[in-house]
Structures are given as structure tokens and as C-alpha cells.
Amino acid sequence: MKRYAQQTRLLVAVDCIIFGFDGQEIKLLLIQRGFEPCKGKWSLVGGFVQEEESAEDAATRVLKNLTGLDGIYMEQLHTFSSPDRDSVERTISVAYTALIDIKRYKQLHEDFHAVWFPINHHPELIFDHDAMVNQAKEKLRYKAALHPLLLELLPPKFTLPQLQQLYESVYNTSFDKGNFSRKILSTGLLVRLADKDKLNSRKGAFYYKVDKKKYNVNLHAFLNFVPEALMKKSAAAR
Amino acid sequence: MKRYAQQTRLLVAVDCIIFGFDGQEIKLLLIQRGFEPCKGKWSLVGGFVQEEESAEDAATRVLKNLTGLDGIYMEQLHTFSSPDRDSVERTISVAYTALIDIKRYKQLHEDFHAVWFPINHHPELIFDHDAMVNQAKEKLRYKAALHPLLLELLPPKFTLPQLQQLYESVYNTSFDKGNFSRKILSTGLLVRLADKDKLNSRKGAFYYKVDKKKYNVNLHAFLNFVPEALMKKSAAAR
DNA sequence: AAAAATAATTGTAAAATTGACATTTTTTTA
DNA sequence: TAAAAAAATGTCAATTTTACAATTATTTTT
């Protein structure tokens, strides 16, 4: 029995902008749409919100279905609601940004035709998905300067050179190693492990992990993490 | 003719968290719900998204209907989508935070029973509206340290003491007058006007307005505007 | 006219941070 | 053993920030 009987009901979907880091650069995961219209065109992964689930649950389901992974870090980006954003039928989309460690991802189904693209070199997308990606990229850059969320793109243990490479790929610049190391360690968020990565360097770099206990307490250690001048440059480049 | 025929259609509403500044403190605008269930209970202002409008247009309509004002600054806060958040029928809510100059606001209709409450002393709200308000407050504090959006709460012309009072009310602390003035003026966002406010002080304080041309260019002058130590304190107090 | 009340501006010292650059250490390779 | 390659740590000058103070200016009140 519907109580708000006279009101307009709309289709509600979720769309996921999935970023990964392959050790060199940030990548975006796209799929080929499986049905008309625009069959075969590149798209974000998404799906309709069902009767008994929240949008967040729907996004979690969609991500799990595509990647097989649990516990993916995601956050709501924006709700896109222009009446004509979907050429088939009016659909509201709650967009989520997800960050995954590419090495944990294993494509489960050939059906999706899921492919990783460099973040700045991907094919044109259907509907307003390009706008979603652009907004997600901008928000990632902005927020990563203020919040340690880029750590979600790394494996549970990582090295300082890997972390620096990640930041350099997001901001398309290079940081002084000594200064970067001092600054990231001064946040108090990382714990040095005893073992070293001997594969990627002669001397071997110490592995680090995130200190879960300090994570929430020290979030604000990340304010001002990326120099203001660089934020200006980043903004001006868009 | 509905193209995605087999899909679930949901009610979609907007809810607006309306903040104002009365010169002393931040206030929240609430209305009394006009129909059952929960008739007479305090609530945020909201409404259903109609067939031909976006959620943003719906929020603009709702705000205009309540306040009579155009051009209200608002931004999307979050989409709340728990299946059981509305006790009548499942409804998804796209929540917006709006900032208005209390002095421009004139209540148009007694029907709404709209009342301003101090931000930290308001009655319990229906559904998940308390959660919406809390999230809006937190985001306001966080973003105001990085972006000059608090200026949206002031009249077109205002004084430095008024601006400082606003920041002090948001962060529940006091700033050094000399340093505050030096810092805010160093952003280059404000233009001093020739006339003075003679009502609120003997000497009379200069009026300022926002330099629209520099507003976007100098957004990043606001990074690090509120000291990191204060952000930590603010976070720990919640 | 003098006092009082604010506003605005400028200055200063100590502390903290930042950026550029250098040095030391650790491991593997030749 | 020495060289090479990276990682880690250190140094210093410059800059910024904060707390606090002093000064100047402008208006109203006494």
C-alpha cells in the first residue's frame, strides 16, 4: 500500500567511479555497456537501487559483483539528477567514488569487459559519466591534500617511495624525497615494519602500514599537506 | 512509455538544512510538519522531486517557497537512502545545505511555522533530520576553514568585526583581532568600501564587500585559514 | 576640550614550518 | 674491496604563524 500515493516515483541508480593505483599512475576502471542503447560503449559500472537496499548498499553490491572484493573504500560523490541525463528514461544517479588496490582486483567475469585506463586517457563515456569522472578526479585531488584517503589505494603494507609515487601521480609533480618523508611521517599515521622491500631497490625500503588507532585522531594532521601553491596550480590547470 | 519497465521506482525528496547568521550566532531554520504522521513536530523544510525537475531545481523551489528569496547559496550535502528512514513510505532524500543572510529572510507564510533556532539548541527532529543537521554542521566547520563560504551568511556589505564574530561562532573560540584582520585581508577577497558602520561602534568600522572577480581565483588563499590545532580541537569536541 | 571607546594598522619576537640541498647508511653488484 | 644504487636522515636559511603589544585614527560622550 503506497502512502504518498499521488507523488512521482523515479528510477534511482548508483554509478561507481573506481580508481586504482598500479604503482605508477592512477587508473580508472571502465566497462563496456552490455545492452542498447549505447551497447559496447564505455561506461562506469552501476545499477539500479532496489526496494530493500540503500544507495550505499547498492553501490557495495555493484562493486562486489564487478570486483569480487569486500571492504572497498568508497564515498558518496554527488547525486546527478538532471531529468535528461539518461537517454532511455529519467534516472537519478547517486555517484560513488571507490578506491581499490589494483593488485587485489581480479576480473571475475569476461561479461563486463572491464578495463583499466590511465586517468587522463580514457575513452569517451556514455551519458554524464565523463562529468562524473571529472568531478571525482577534482574531488580526489582536493581531498587528498587534506585527508589521507590515498592510502586506500595502496596494499596493506607499502613503502615510502611507493607512497610518494602515488602522490606524484595524483598531483602530476615531483616532491623532494627528504621533505616528503619528513612530512608524511610527522603525521604520525604510519607504522614502520621490520621487513623491507628488497625487490624494487638495492638498499631495500622499509615497509609501512597505517596505524588504525591514530587514523581518525590524526586526520587533521593532513590539513595543509600539499602546499597551497600546488593546489593553486592544480586548480588553474583545469 | 517506460523503458526500464521492470525496475523499482522510488520516491525522491529534497531536504534543506538552512543556516543563517544573526550577527551573534549561527542559526538553523526549522518548520513544524503540517500533516500526519508527526504533525506539529519540528522538521527541516523539504519536498518531493517532480517529474521534470532536477533535485537541485527542487531544492531551489522549496527554498524560494519558504523564504521568498532568490539566489540562495546552497550545496548538496549527502543523499540519505536508508529504506526505513521515513516511517510513511520509503523515500530517498537528497539533502542540501543552504546559507542565508537572516536579515533578508522574511517569513511569507504563517503556514510553515518557521522558526530560527540556535544551531546547538534546537528541538528533536523527525526521521533522520537530526543526522542531516549534524552532518551539515560538521561539513560547514570543516569547509569553512578552507573556503570562504561563510561569507554567504553575511549581507552584501559587512564589517571585519562582524566577520570575525561569525568565524568565532562557528569555531566556538576567539581569534586575535590583529591577526584575523591581517589574514583575511591578505586573501585579497575583500574590497573596502567608503562608508562605515556607525551603529555598532563609536569609531565606526569600514564596510567591506566580496570581490567577485577574485572569488574563484583566490579560493585557495583559504587553505589553512583556520589553524590546524583548532580543527583538531573542533573535531575532538564532537 | 578632554576622555572614552572602538577600529585599524603595524610591529616584534619566538616558534614552527618549509624548501633546497647535503650527508650517511645499507644493501647488492662488479 | 670498491662502486653503485637507493633509502633514510640531517642541516640551514627563508618564510610563516602566533601571541602580544603599541600606535594611530575616528567618532561619541562627558
pLDDT tens-digit map of A47-71: 999 999 999 999 999 999 999 899 9
Of A184 and B130, which is predicted with more confidence? Answer: B130
Global confidence as pTM: 0.90
When scoring A50, A54, A91 by the number of chain B Cβ atoms within 10 A, the one with the most, hence best to mutate, is A54
pLDDT of residue A144: 86
Cβ contacts of A203 within 8 Å, gap of 6 or more: none
pLDDT of residue A238: 38
Strands B42-43 and B158-159, by their bridges, are: unpaired
pLDDT digits (tens, 9 = 90+) for B14-53: 999 999 998 888 999 999 998 888 899 999 999 999 999 9
Q: Which of B114, B143, B172 is the last residue of a domain?
A: B143
State which amino acid sits at residue B88: V
* Closest Cβ opposite residue B76 in set A12, A52, A78: A78
Based on the fold, state whether residues B137 and B168 are members of the same structural domain: no
- Whether A2 contacts chain B with CB within 8 A: yes
Does residue B232 surpass a pLDDT of 60?
no
Based on the fold, state whether residues A103 and A152 are members of the same structural domain: no
Whether A6 is in a domain gets the answer: no
Which of A 99-158 lie inside 8 A of B, CB atoms?
145-146
Are A12 and B92 in contact (CB < 8 Å)? yes
Does residue A216 surpass a pLDDT of 70?
no
CATH number at residue A182: 1.10.10.10
Based on the fold, state whether residues A92 and A173 are members of the same structural domain: no
Whether B6 is in a domain gets the answer: no
Cβ-Cβ contacts under 8 Å between A and B: the total is 109
**DSSP for A83-104?**
TTSSSSS-EEEEEEEEEEEGGG
- Strand D lies under 7 A from the Cβ of residue B179: yes
Based on the fold, state whether residues B162 and B128 are members of the same structural domain: no
**Host domain of residue B156:** 146-236
Average pLDDT, chain A: 87
- Strand D lies under 7 A from the Cβ of residue A203: yes
Average pLDDT, chain B: 86
Whether A3 is in a domain gets the answer: no
Based on the fold, state whether residues A53 and A154 are members of the same structural domain: no
CA distance A80 to chain B (A): 8
Based on the fold, state whether residues B87 and B190 are members of the same structural domain: no
CA distances from A149 to A73, A118, B126, B181 (A): 9, 19, 33, 33
pLDDT of residue A237: 44
Based on the fold, state whether residues B134 and B150 are members of the same structural domain: no
Based on the fold, state whether residues B101 and B137 are members of the same structural domain: yes
Are B223 and A231 in contact (CB < 8 Å)? yes
Q: What is the mean pLDDT of residues A228-232?
A: 52
Whether B4 is in a domain gets the answer: no
Whether A41 is in a domain gets the answer: yes
pLDDT digits (tens, 9 = 90+) for B192-201: 988 888 877 7
Confidence of residue A236 (pLDDT cuts 50, 70, 90): very low
CATH number at residue B27: 3.90.79.10
Q: Which of A144, A167, A189 is the last residue of a domain?
A: A144
> How many domains is chain B partitioned into structurally?
2
Does residue A209 surpass a pLDDT of 90?
yes
Q: What is the mean pLDDT of residues B84-112?
A: 87
Based on the fold, state whether residues B212 and B184 are members of the same structural domain: yes
Whether A168 is in a domain gets the answer: yes
**DSSP for chain B?**
--SSTTS-EEEEEEEEEEEEE-SSSEEEEEEE--SSSSTT-EE-EEEEPPTTS-HHHHHHHHHHHHH--SS-EEEEEEEE--TTSSSSS-EEEEEEEEEEEGGG-----GGG--EEEETTS---BSTTHHHHHHHHHHHHHHHHTTSGGGGGGS-SSEEHHHHHHHHHHHHTS---HHHHHHHHHHTT-EEEEEEEE-SS-SS-EEEEEE-HHHHHHTGGGGTT-S-HHHHHHHHHT-
Whether A204 is in a domain gets the answer: yes
Q: Which of B76, B110, B143 is the last residue of a domain?
A: B143
Based on the fold, state whether residues B167 and B226 are members of the same structural domain: yes
CA distance B216 to chain A (A): 10
Whether B138 is in a domain gets the answer: yes
Based on the fold, state whether residues B121 and B24 are members of the same structural domain: yes
Based on the fold, state whether residues A158 and A44 are members of the same structural domain: no
pLDDT of residue A211: 86
